[in-house]
Amino acid sequence: MQKLKIAIQKSGRLHDESLALLKDCGIYIDNGRDQLKASATNFPLEIYYLRNGDIPQYLKDGVIDCAIIGENLLVEKGEEINIVGRLGFSKCRVSLAVSKFMKYNSIKDLNGKRIATSYPKTTQDYLDKNGINAELHIINGSVEIAPNIGLADAICDIVSSGSTLFKNNLKEVEVIMKSEAVLAVSPNISDIENNILEKLQFRIKSVLQGRDSRYVLLNAPNDKIDDIIKILPGMKSPTLLPLAEEGWSSIHSVVNRDTFWEVIEELKAAGAEGILVCPIEKMIV
Ligand SMILES: Nc1ncnc2c1ncn2[C@@H]1O[C@H](COP(=O)(O)OP(=O)(O)OP(=O)(O)O)[C@@H](O)[C@H]1O
Ligand SMILES: O=P(O)(O)OC[C@H]1O[C@H](OP(=O)(O)OP(=O)(O)O)[C@H](O)[C@@H]1O
Ligand SMILES: [Mg+2]
């Protein structure tokens, strides 16, 4: 039977959440420790555990069909690779940073300077776009230390919380791009594998929509229903059920995770009582 070949980071920032996502999609993986390849037991999927940095080339060559990878790495190494889904984890940005003691007014201050980075293409493209001439030093890790040891005047690297920059006395001065984990697809994927990919995408979308939403149940006196329903969006419209007690109803709806607390406050102010909030495992709209 034909299987979809998916690459997942072998170890590192993306590994755990990539596997958790497949698990939430109901895909079980026959997983021994330190394996390089595994098969799903209940879905036509073969998992390849690879270095993040090697994945763009494997996708280009069509050795694998798709991958969970940091978007920033596709910008760096995989222009011709399509992104078919944003996965909402490993959010970070690729930024330029300089010593916190340097007077920095604009990108022009980097003219003629040395910049250390693991992302030379991303950095060079940004410099070119801004008409800046700088010397790039390509290093593969611990980039933030470069200015402190006199190797460079600035760096271009991944920033998330900013604590690595802070610890190294650096300040972020330009955000080149924002990134998150994405589902990327080989330009050489066949029709059969594409069919399996569409099934996987459908599952991923249902899981991510569920993660972003909460199911809310509440009680309200009937004369408050109109006001409460105005606050609740719901998938189509809220569900309304009579309570055993005369003159009261139960209202059910779906609320976005990000606006959830504000909505609850409004619901309480509008007369809602006994509010219950439940996670949603999958959401198919
Ligand atoms: N501090 C961070 N916070 C959030 N996301 C991050 C962070 N650092 C890296 N990432 C994201 O996770 C991806 C993988 O980063 P990680 O450091 O685990 O691997 P790597 O060193 O780029 O790759 P390799 O697997 O080749 O060793 C990055 O490409 C980026 O998209
Ligand atoms: O803004 P922060 O939250 O401090 O995160 C940024 C740091 O995280 C990543 O390194 P990682 O820890 O993955 O180590 P690595 O350099 O060995 O990949 C990245 O290369 C930065 O150094
Ligand atoms: Mg890293």
pLDDT recorded at residue 249: 97
Both 170 and 191 in one domain: the answer is no
**Residue 140 Cβ contacting ligand 2 at under 6 Å:** no
pLDDT > 80? residue 13:
yes
Q: In this structure, what DSSP letter does residue 26 have?
A: T
Ligand 2, closest atom to CA 164? Answer: 4
In this structure, the residue with its CA closest to atom 15 of ligand 2 is: 141
Both 264 and 217 in one domain: the answer is yes
Is position 140 within any domain? yes
Is position 77 within any domain? yes
Number of domains making up the chain: 3
Is position 24 within any domain? yes
Both 49 and 118 in one domain: the answer is no
Both 108 and 61 in one domain: the answer is no
**Residue 15 Cβ contacting ligand 2 at under 6 Å:** no
Final residue in a domain of this structure, among 169, 195, 210: 210
DSSP run (H or E) holding 127: helix 120-129
Is position 285 within any domain? no
Final residue in a domain of this structure, among 188, 210, 232: 210
Both 187 and 60 in one domain: the answer is yes
Both 196 and 72 in one domain: the answer is yes
Final residue in a domain of this structure, among 160, 193, 210: 210
Both 99 and 175 in one domain: the answer is yes
Average pLDDT, rounded, for the chain? 95
Assigned token pair, 193: 């594998």
In this structure, the residue with its CA closest to atom 21 of ligand 2 is: 158
Both 14 and 59 in one domain: the answer is yes
Euclidean distance between CA atoms 46 and 5, whole angstroms: 5
pLDDT digits (tens, 9 = 90+) for 125-172: 999 999 999 999 999 999 999 999 999 999 999 999 999 999 999 999
- What confidence category does residue 32 fall into, taking pLDDT thresholds of 50, 70 and 90? low
Cα–Cα distances in Å, from 273 out to 201, 218, 233, 249, 267?
38, 6, 18, 10, 8
pLDDT > 80? residue 235:
no
Both 187 and 79 in one domain: the answer is yes
Both 107 and 169 in one domain: the answer is yes
pLDDT digits (tens, 9 = 90+) for 87-110: 999 999 999 999 999 999 999 999
Which range marks the domain in which residue 244 is found? 213-279
In this structure, the residue with its CA closest to atom 20 of ligand 1 is: 52
- What confidence category does residue 236 fall into, taking pLDDT thresholds of 50, 70 and 90? confident
Both 250 and 219 in one domain: the answer is yes
Q: Is the dihedral of CA 133, 163, 83, 47 positive or negative?
A: positive
**Residue 74 Cβ contacting ligand 1 at under 6 Å:** no
Type of residue found at 99: S
Strand, helix or coil for residue 29:
strand
**Residue 50 Cβ contacting ligand 1 at under 6 Å:** no
Q: How far is the CA of 147 from the centre of ligand 3 (A)?
A: 18
Both 80 and 185 in one domain: the answer is yes
- What confidence category does residue 79 fall into, taking pLDDT thresholds of 50, 70 and 90? confident
CATH for 126: 3.40.190.10
**Residue 158 Cβ contacting ligand 1 at under 6 Å:** yes
Euclidean distance between CA atoms 285 and 278, whole angstroms: 18
CATH for 226: 3.30.70.120
Is position 284 within any domain? no
pLDDT recorded at residue 33: 63
Q: How far is the CA of 15 from the centre of ligand 1 (A)?
A: 10
pLDDT digits (tens, 9 = 90+) for 177-220: 999 999 999 999 999 999 999 999 999 999 999 999 999 999 99
Mean pLDDT of 236-242: 90
Q: How far is the CA of 163 from the centre of ligand 2 (A)?
A: 9
Q: How far is the CA of 159 from the centre of ligand 2 (A)?
A: 7
